[in-house]
Amino acid sequence: MRCPACTSVDDKVVDSRLADDGVAIRRRRECLGCGRRFTTFERIEEVSLVVVKRSGVREPFRRGKVVAGVRAAAKNRPVGPAQLEGLAADVEEALRLEGSEASSARVGAIVLERLRALDEVAYVRFASVYKGFDAPGDFEREVVALTQAEPPPSPAD
């Protein structure tokens, strides 16, 4: 670390402790050149998560888009804002575990998995848009699949 006072790169760590609820490490340092003390913070640099659209366009993952889509599907359902945020966080975490890029189809499939466990009516609503239902029979097929023990197959990426 370069000292903010004399720009020397020689320092020693005097104290280290967790900061920001364990998300960062706060280090108190003392410059060996001038004796001045200063504080630094270390945080994990998260790799950005990229969503690849059907058209091939890449855009950063935005949790807010997931929340907005699920909020629309869960309108007038007993699903609170905290549950919506939790679902979006779960989706983001699942995608990060799979890598730094995900197709929009994969994002939708993970949302469907989480929604199924949260609220079945919201699940069917979301599925109708995500899977592009065209006829009443599409709803019927989805409801039958929903009532079966196994989760419905996700669409191909």
Query: Strands 37-43 and 58-60: what pairing?
Result: unpaired
Question: For 39-55, what is the HEC assignment?
Answer: EEEEECCCCCCEEECCC
What's the rounded mean pLDDT across residues 54-70? 93
Query: Strands 50-52 and 37-43: what pairing?
Result: unpaired
Per-chain mean pLDDT for the chain: 88
Q: How confident is the model at residue 150 (pLDDT cuts 50, 70, 90)?
A: low
What's the rounded mean pLDDT across residues 101-106? 93
Evaluate if residue 157 carries a pLDDT over 50: no
Q: How many helices (H) and strands (E) does the chain have?
A: 5, 6
* Per-residue pLDDT tens digits for 27-41: 999 999 999 999 999
